[in-house]
Amino acid sequence: MKTSPIVFLLASALLLPAADSAAEPPVRLQIDLAAPGKAISRDLVGVFFEDLNYAADGGLYAELIQNRSFEYSATEQGEWGPFFGWELVKAAGGGGQLGLGDSRPVHPNNPHYLLLTVLEPGSGVGIANKGFDLIPVEAGRSCEASFWAYQAYMGRMWKDTDQSKSMPVTLQLQAKDGSVLAEARLEVAGRTWAKHSATLVPRRSDPEARFVLLAHAQGGLALDMVSLFPRDTFKGRANGLRRDLAQAIADIRPRFMRFPGGCLVHGSGVHRFYNWKDSVGPVEQRRAQRNLWGYHQTFGLGYFEFFQFCEDIGAKPLPVVSAGVCCQHAGHSPGRGQEGLPLDEMPAYIQDILDLIEWANGPVDSKWGAVRAAAGHPEPFGLKYLGVGNEDAITPTFKERFRMIFDALKARHPEIVVVGTSGPFHSGEDYDNGWAFVRELGVPMDDEHYYVPPQWFWDNLSRYERYDRASAKVYVGEYAAHDQPKDRNTLRSALAEAAGLTSFERNGDVVQFASYAPLLARRGHTQWHPDLIYFDTTAVYPTINYQVQRLFGNNAGDTLLPALLEGVPAGVRLTCSVVRDSASGDAIVKVVNGEDRALTVTIALAGVSAGKRRLVATILTGASADVANEDGQPPAALPVTDESRVGASFERVLPANSLTILRLR
């Protein structure tokens, strides 16, 4: 994109306005708005969701109860067990105890349940849960409470209790001071599991409420799946998503969503891959388990919820499955090496992958299509892309299994676009071998990852210009600029990613998809920095990097227009892309100035009629490259918009450290 020194000198001679700016190069951007341009991906900007940093349970999944099914275990965290998050409540005069059951579970996939024994009812004996850190409730905002239960009689209770009587139960939302904010009364009768539910409408708001279930007669209860959801989940979905977080993701206007990981797909060993089948069907039948990132995943946010969310926000689903190997760092000793699924287990594993396609796209009378339909979605989800493998070491073990999966997919589902992998880095052995293997097999798309310093993006703006247009398309599946110190989400890092995105757009004939990683992080439970969106129980804290993703997602195009940026001296961090959005007819110019000083650019439009046209400019900048948006503080960098009318040639001042988006109507 840089012009020759001769062009630079000529341009300097013509445009130098004043002596004190003699040191500043005049920069000129020529754009041909009438050119047919080059078709580029319509789906460049998407999101990558991984349950890391409490992104699912305690995050996007709106469930407010922590450890609802008593499946927490010390295999997840040393101090955890089935009662984690729960406490025994004995209201005035009450006496009782807790036990753990496993002999008559709600479902074999959900083996443990709580046994509550009421010896002395007093004003109630039961259990309380404070959710993930705490449960925020708002006056008048309904919550849906539910639980599974049957009457259970432990020890002497069997003889001492009148079993013809049902067990009265109250469900309460209690404020921090113990006062009751909402209450519902129910009866549990009988010796078989049944689901009970009630709506709780808080009288007052309290950011630190707790949920309490009290039993009021001598006897006992078996309890499982004790659950509390806000009613106003995203799009009002049952078993739905936290509205504010889901909306923040939707606001990016992502064209695709990759899930469930990342490293998560590998699980913690060859027999512990993320199994999509464990994540569908009635929630009480899903097989909760340890998440690779060292905490508990209920699978309440499972494949059905992922696909439904994609549909709700207009994003193409892009699930990823393991390539039949675990991560080279899986298990309890990172780096101990990749392991492959035994070859005689591969046919069953491949069948699981084929079943996934049937579940997503198959007719309602197919085995797995019927499971989707039973969940309330008879129409196919329209799955088109499937990732196989994540950041794998490209070994013979990997290749053998990847090839088996790829061949089966090609034979049975040629309509599915398989996305391969080329290791964890932007270059190196696995990158080279991964790409060679993708080419050898004719895999249509490859997933590249890079977490790099901001300057890397500036130094690699022409990376994709060198890619073979006849070979596989590129999915930049995970990328982020890691700034120092402490991997903060600085403006510098966000602008480096913006610069990278302009290079993806310029090469949008090759780069089909790109997604920042990781997406979500709960404050206090964050294992990885930096992330795109931070949150806590009540608030969402978008980073400057998020603003970049949102601006690119909302200013996407489908045609690259010819643009020539002239007069940029070597080493100056200034780059751009120009696209047309056929739907609106708008031309969209994105210019990133990564310098600590403002630069002026003269924009010359060819192929336009005389007269003026409307220009909407959106600028993202801050006081310095070091600023970051801090939780609860006014944002240090937020996009601002202005409108003007411009002729065929006009000047724009690009503020120091800025992303400028110009929409020409």
Of 255-263, 278-286, 298-306, 501-509, which segment contacts ligand AHR by CB under 6 A? Answer: 255-263
Of 261-269, 347-355, 392-400, 631-639, which segment contacts ligand AHR by CB under 6 A? Answer: 261-269
Q: Of these, 43, 51, 478, 497, which contacts ligand AHR (CB under 6 A)?
A: 478
Instruction: Give the residue with the Cβ less far from ligand AHR, 50 or 63.
Output: 50
Q: Give me the sign of the Cα torsion angle 245, 248, 253, 258.
A: negative
Tokens of 109: 């996939």
Which residues are bridge partners to 618 per DSSP? Answer: 641, 661
Q: Of these, 239, 298, 361, 390, which contacts ligand AHR (CB under 6 A)?
A: 390
Q: Of these, 25, 518, 567, 594, which contacts ligand AHR (CB under 6 A)?
A: 518
Instruction: Give the residue with the Cβ less far from ligand AHR, 206 or 448.
Output: 448
Stretch 41-60: interaction string toward ligand AHR, x if CB under 6 A? ---------x-x--------
Nearest in space to 158 (alpha carbons), one of 115, 219, 114? 219
Of 117-125, 259-267, 461-469, 596-604, which segment contacts ligand AHR by CB under 6 A? Answer: 259-267
Instruction: Give the residue with the Cβ less far from ligand AHR, 494 or 517.
Output: 517
Is the previous residue joined to 25 through a cis bond, with omega within 30 degrees of 0?
Answer: no
Give phi and psi for 587, each to the nearest 5.
Answer: -95, 140
Q: Quick check: 430 binds ligand AHR (CB under 6 A)?
A: no
391 in catalytic set: yes
Instruction: Give the residue with the Cβ less far from ligand AHR, 33 or 263.
Output: 263
Let me know: does 110 contact 84? Beta carbons within 8 Å: no
Q: Quick check: 425 binds ligand AHR (CB under 6 A)?
A: no
Q: Quick check: 268 binds ligand AHR (CB under 6 A)?
A: no
Indicate the Cα dihedral angle 469, 471, 475, 478, nearest 10°.
-110
Of 25-33, 257-265, 354-362, 566-574, which segment contacts ligand AHR by CB under 6 A? Answer: 257-265
Instruction: Give the residue with the Cβ less far from ligand AHR, 324 or 518.
Output: 518
Minimum separation from the CB atom of position 584 to ligand AHR (A):
33
| Contacts for 177 with CB less than 8 Å, ≥ 6 apart | none
Q: From the centroid of its chain, how far is CA 61?
A: 11
Q: Quick check: 362 binds ligand AHR (CB under 6 A)?
A: no
Q: Quick check: 317 binds ligand AHR (CB under 6 A)?
A: no
Of 214-222, 258-266, 377-385, 497-505, which segment contacts ligand AHR by CB under 6 A? Answer: 258-266
Let me know: does 662 contact 615? Beta carbons within 8 Å: yes
How many residues form the binding site for ligand AHR (CB under 6 A)? 12
In 498-539, the DSSP E strands lie at 511-516, 520-522, 533-535
Minimum separation from the CB atom of position 499 to ligand AHR (A):
21
Separation of alpha carbons 590 and 329, rounded Å = 39
Give phi and psi for 379, each to the nearest 5.
Answer: -70, 145
Q: Taking CB under 6 A as the criterion, which residues in 531-570 touch ligand AHR? A: none
Let me know: does 575 contact 496? Beta carbons within 8 Å: no
Q: Quick check: 528 binds ligand AHR (CB under 6 A)?
A: yes
Q: Of these, 46, 136, 240, 262, which contacts ligand AHR (CB under 6 A)?
A: 262
Of 391, 448, 478, 566, the catalytic one is 391
Q: 652 exposed, middle or buried (CB, 10 Å; 0-12, 13-18, 19+)?
A: buried
Minimum separation from the CB atom of position 174 to ligand AHR (A):
38
Q: Quick check: 85 binds ligand AHR (CB under 6 A)?
A: no
Instruction: Give the residue with the Cβ less far from ligand AHR, 121 or 500.
Output: 500
Minimum separation from the CB atom of position 543 to ligand AHR (A):
15
Q: Quick check: 424 binds ligand AHR (CB under 6 A)?
A: yes
3-state secondary structure of 544: helix
389-417 CB burial, b ≥16 within 10 A, e <16:
bbbbbbbebbbebbebbbebbeeebeebb
Minimum separation from the CB atom of position 263 to ligand AHR (A):
4
Helix ranges (DSSP H) in 462-565: 491-506, 544-553
Separation of alpha carbons 390 and 366, rounded Å = 30
Instruction: Give the residue with the Cβ less far from ligand AHR, 131 or 424.
Output: 424
Minimum separation from the CB atom of position 517 to ligand AHR (A):
4
- CB-closest chain residue to ligand AHR: 262
Instruction: Give the residue with the Cβ less far from ligand AHR, 262 or 369.
Output: 262
Q: Of these, 89, 452, 517, 591, which contacts ligand AHR (CB under 6 A)?
A: 517
Tokens of 62: 């709106």
Tokens of 78: 């040393």
Separation of alpha carbons 625 and 628, rounded Å = 8
| Contacts for 425 with CB less than 8 Å, ≥ 6 apart | 431, 449, 450
Instruction: Give the residue with the Cβ less far from ligand AHR, 262 or 622.
Output: 262
3-state secondary structure of 480: strand
Minimum separation from the CB atom of position 409 to ligand AHR (A):
21
Give phi and psi for 148, each to the nearest 5.
Answer: -105, 140
Let me know: does 404 contact 352? Beta carbons within 8 Å: no
Stretch 147-186: interaction string toward ligand AHR, x if CB under 6 A? ----------------------------------------
Instruction: Give the residue with the Cβ less far from ligand AHR, 456 or 528.
Output: 528
Q: 624 exposed, middle or buried (CB, 10 Å; 0-12, 13-18, 19+)?
A: middle
Q: Of these, 391, 430, 448, 566, which contacts ligand AHR (CB under 6 A)?
A: 391
Catalytic residues: 391
Contacts with ligand AHR by CB under 6 A lie at: 50, 52, 261-263, 390-391, 424, 478, 517-518, 528
